[in-house]
Structure 1
Amino acid sequence: MKILFIGGTGNISTSVSKLCIERGFELYLLNRGLTNNKIEGAKTITADINNFSQVDEALKNFYWDAVVNWIAFTPEHIERDLKLFKNKTKQYIFISSASIYQKPPLNPVITESTPLKNPYWDYSRNKIACEERLNKAYREEDFPITIVRPSHTYSNVIPVPIGGWTEYTIVDRIKKGEKIIVHGDGTSLWTLTHADDFALGFIGLIGNYKTIGHAFHITSDEVLTWDQIHFLLAEAVGKEPNIIHIPSDFIVKCEPSLTGSLLGDKTWNAIFDNSKIKKFCPDFVARIPFREGIKKTIQWFEEKPERKIIRKETNDMIDRIIQCYNK
């Protein structure tokens, strides 16, 4: 199969790209040629996806078995892609987000039919709008969509809401015995998925034309509390975490920039029913527990000193929130 990834070298997509090559797909990556993350075996098309005429010219002689856009975030991006790929692909896979599911949830278990509503986060509302436009194109223009909603997926990022992701700040605080914040009382339930596991489910959707018109989430079946997540992170560096529990609504009053990712996502329980992806892709099973996966992540950060980014601004924010709460 001839596959085009728009992006393809990010936190989630790198694992999928590598698996595509392993499975013998003819994979093309469309990007600006600025990334240092090279996928061995993939072909590169150098163009800026936000420059329509440039991309249209670069792709004019191609017809695709599947196109996957890893970096579409707004309805404007979707309108562009509809113009670029109408009658040019057998399948268009849109990477949405599980954060679009109903917040606060009215049912503890999330399925693909859970209502889409997020009053807290513009990011999620834009993803919902993208899905609505694509579904309209499917119904009215027969545009061949498949929608995928990743939840909290990690590989070379630290998947905690305060002091992590591309930073090493929270790990540095844990190593030093400094206080770290866990939102709420630490008992809300959450699902973390390693990108290598996500890739196993995703690969079964590419070129699977029975999935046209459908939406899927792909997550681990392992459910952890946020306390467990932070204890396992600390375990990976051989330390005990010094946790202070602070309510999410208090945190966002002190630091409004966290409103989307906390109140719009991680404050609430997230337990996923993966029956649908397993029905369409029977080989899918998540194999990497967080205890194992986070050790791989920490190892990646510590392989190169420049990856261990410790931000003074983040430390100051954490200390400020703790001081306010203690008062």
Structure 2
Amino acid sequence: MKILLIGGTGTISTEISRQLLAQGHELYLINRGNRNSELPGGAHVIQGDVNDEALMARKLEGLEFDAVADFIAFVPSQLERDYRLFARRTKQFLFISSASAYQKPLSDYRITEGTPLANPYWEYSRNKIACEEYLMELYRREGFPVTIVRPSHTYDQRSVPLGVHGAQGSWQVVQRMREGKPVIIHGDGSSLWTMTHARDFAPGFIGLLGNIHALGEAVQITSDETLTWNQIYRSIARALGVELKPYYIASSSLAAWDTGDLYGSLLGDKANSVVFDNAKLKRLVPGFTATIRFDQGVRETLDYVLSHPELQVPDPEFDAWCDRLIPGLDSLAGSVVHRNP
């Protein structure tokens, strides 16, 4: 197949690109060229900013595709642009939405594609919902061949997936573990979560390409493995060969004290227990199964990150925030105990 990915070097799309090329597909990437080292060899790169619609229209002239997938659209206006660019150039258009779009709080912990979409806590998720609604209206009104894909927490070898970290990513939490410092875990660590390795995600996604049964459908792609956050953090500590020193703080408190995006990413996503039912994906892509257990996958990720210094991005602001927050809460807890023996 002849496939175009808008993006192609992200956590999910890099592995999809690799596997598509390994299978012999003709792959095109629209990419700004900011991460040239991540571009897979053998792909046709259309370099430029997809937001420059006039430039893209010129570069796409004469090209048609079996499938086009946008990994970097976040608001409906970007999909309106995609529609103008690709309505007559592709047999299938795939939009990468998000499982965070599912209702919060959940009425049932088991999530299927029929779970309602509603997230009052996170603008990111509300924008994804608006994108889905725009595309599905195009499908109903004009037959635009859309497939919506909903990933949850997907990771690759370049970054350790965690619940609470700073703006610079997860490395500082890993470093705190290595230094024997306490690390913050939201809630009491007992809520359920699902981690999916990009190498497992990619076959599910590729199985939807050119799949006539996927047109007009929304499909979630996740592992079937369910973990508590305590298990997630313990797996990371075990892979590092260190003792985990967890410090539990209510998600609502963290959201109130943080100046970043914890309000949305915790209350609108990670603080909620989730168990995904992937039966629909397995009907559409027979034989799909996620095979990489989290403890195995995160060990591989840590090995890679520890051997690539450029991925070890320090976050002194987040580190200082943890160092201020934890002793302050310990002091408060001690005073409460003192007053109420």
Scaled by the length of structure 2, the TM-score of the pair is 0.94
Note the 1:94-243 alignment, pairs <5 A: 94-155=95-156, 156-163=158-165, 166-243=169-246
Secondary structure in 1 matching 2:90: coil
Paired residue type of 2:132:
E
Does structure 1 retain, via aligned residues, the 8 Å contact 2:159–2:311? Answer: no
Cα distance per residue 1:138-182 (max 9 Å; x no partner):
011111000000000000221112237833111111111101011
Cα distance per residue 1:212-232 (max 9 Å; x no partner):
000000100110000000000
Does structure 2 retain, via aligned residues, the 8 Å contact 1:255–1:321? Answer: no
2:335 alignment partner in structure 1:
none
Cα distance per residue 1:253-279 (max 9 Å; x no partner):
111421011001000001100000000
User: Looking at CA atoms only, which structure, 1 or 2, has the larger radius of gyration?
Assistant: 2
Does structure 1 retain, via aligned residues, the 8 Å contact 2:8–2:39? Answer: no
Matched, 1:320 2:318: no
CA root-mean-square deviation:
1.1
1-side partners of 2:90 and 2:213: how far apart? 15
Structure 2 unaligned spans of 5+: 333-341
Cα distance per residue 1:181-224 (max 9 Å; x no partner):
11111110000000000001111001112200000001001100
1-side partners of 2:305 and 2:65: how far apart? 36
1:59 alignment partner in structure 2:
60
1:294 alignment partner in structure 2:
298
2-side partners of 1:319 and 1:127: how far apart? 35
- Residue 322 of structure 1 deviates from its aligned partner by 1.9
2-side partners of 1:166 and 1:312: how far apart? 12
2-side partners of 1:166 and 1:200: how far apart? 27
1:274 alignment partner in structure 2:
278
2-side partners of 1:308 and 1:21: how far apart? 29
Does structure 2 retain, via aligned residues, the 8 Å contact 1:28–1:43? Answer: yes
2-side partners of 1:71 and 1:323: how far apart? 39
Matched, 1:5 2:9: no
Does structure 2 retain, via aligned residues, the 8 Å contact 1:251–1:321? Answer: no
1-side partners of 2:192 and 2:328: how far apart? 26
2-side partners of 1:204 and 1:161: how far apart? 30
Paired residue type of 2:223:
S
Paired residue type of 1:308:
Q
Cα distance per residue 1:89-127 (max 9 Å; x no partner):
000000000000011111010000000000000000000
2:339 alignment partner in structure 1:
none
Does structure 2 retain, via aligned residues, the 8 Å contact 1:101–1:114? Answer: yes
Q: 31-40 or 200-209, which moves further after superposition? A: 31-40
Matched, 1:24 2:24: yes
Q: 1:245 aligns with which of 245, 248, 255?
A: 248
Does structure 1 retain, via aligned residues, the 8 Å contact 2:4–2:65? Answer: yes
Q: 141-150 or 299-308, which moves further after superposition? A: 299-308
1-side partners of 2:309 and 2:284: how far apart? 42
Percent of paired sites with the same residue: 48
1:283 alignment partner in structure 2:
287
Matched, 1:306 2:326: no
Structure 1 unaligned spans of 5+: none
2-side partners of 1:286 and 1:121: how far apart? 28
Scaled by the length of structure 1, the TM-score of the pair is 0.98
2:92 alignment partner in structure 1:
91
Structure 1 consecutive aligned stretches of length 4 or more whose deviation exceeds 4 Å:
none
Does structure 2 retain, via aligned residues, the 8 Å contact 1:73–1:130? Answer: yes
Paired residue type of 2:133:
E
Paired residue type of 2:113:
E
Aligned residues: 327
2:257 alignment partner in structure 1:
254
